[in-house]
Structure 1
Amino acid sequence: MMDVTAVLNTLLHGNQLKRTPRTGWVQRGVPNAENVAAHSFGVVFAAMVLAQVVEEELDLGRLLAIAALHDLPEALTTDIPTPAWRYLPPGIKTAVE
């Protein structure tokens, strides 16, 4: 079990996503750029809706957890756009996340 400090640090890191703008939006000069938390909500919402129409049996809890947490590392790394990863050493993205 995590200690209280670790729990609070985890919550604070996750909360940082509300203040982390999506880099692609900023680079393109989009006013009021979406933040990573808003993007993650959109992914969770899409996963919920699409899970209702998929004919296969899904582990909805796992699906929603993955959707909700897929960008959590960006609380520490910021939103590094996909093209930028091409210029970094192989395996660095996995190591950072």
Structure 2
Amino acid sequence: MRLKILVALFLFFIVLGVLGFTPIQLYNVNDKILHFVMFFILATFLYFLWNLSIKRNILLATGVFLILAIGSEFLQGLLPVKNSRKNDIGQEREEFRTYTYNLY
């Protein structure tokens, strides 16, 4: 495991938590573009976190990413200040699929 990437991932989780679970509204940024950029960065961190082969990195990062994506949408659905849409889970899956297709 790479320690610098783990620290950067932890700090990025704080940013994602603030953007995803607080009532902050970024009026100049489209929600779908924000999803794409943030989850693309998350997928990059997850891919480069472990010192494994390419196939194992992709499999491990895919599993962790899907758990985080579905979990974050579920938690947003429980919060009174955020609304969760079922389309977002599919969108996040397709973002990660596009990213890993470009890596592999």
Give TM class, smaller chain: 0.3 to 0.5
TM-score, L = length of structure 2: 0.36
Could you say which structure has the higher helix fraction? Answer: 2
Structure index of larger Rg: 1
